[in-house]
């Protein structure tokens, strides 16, 4: 396993984002509905308003991920809201 200080790699270009993947699997605001994205629009879909499986969406990889498909930032899975693990986290953002 390799760890590096924040900002060790170049930003993502004009977005100016650093370190967007690899530390923790991120809890996002969407509920998880397995077939939702097959019928939703492709331009920034807001996600389902509820979940038939009662899971919140998590996405991306964490430092324990070993399979390549799970390492994509867009990889999605689910977690129960009362779950906890050192591999789950969230990101705080702001608009100016």
Q: Say how far apart CA 46 and CA 31 lie, in whole Å.
A: 10
pLDDT of residue 90: 77
Q: Where are the domains of the chain?
A: 29-89
For 63, the 3-state DSSP assignment is coil
Beta bridge partners of 89: 26
How many residues are recorded in the chain? 96
Dump pLDDT digits (tens) for 20-76. Answer: 666 788 888 888 888 877 878 777 777 777 788 888 888 888 888 887 777 776 778
Q: Say how far apart CA 4 and CA 85 lie, in whole Å.
A: 21
The model's confidence at residue 2, banded by pLDDT at 50, 70 and 90, is: low
């Amino acid at each position: 396993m390799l760890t590096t200080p924040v900002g060790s790699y170049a930003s993502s270009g004009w977005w100016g984002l650093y370190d967007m993947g690899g530390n923790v699997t991120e809890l996002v605001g969407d509920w998880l509905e397995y077939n939702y994205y097959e019928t939703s629009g492709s331009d920034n879909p807001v996600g389902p308003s509820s979940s038939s499986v009662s899971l919140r969406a998590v996405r991306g990889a964490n430092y324990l991920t070993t399979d390549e498909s799970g390492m994509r930032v867009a990889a999605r899975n689910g977690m129960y809201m009362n779950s906890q693990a050192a591999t789950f986290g969230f990101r705080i953002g702001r608009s100016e």
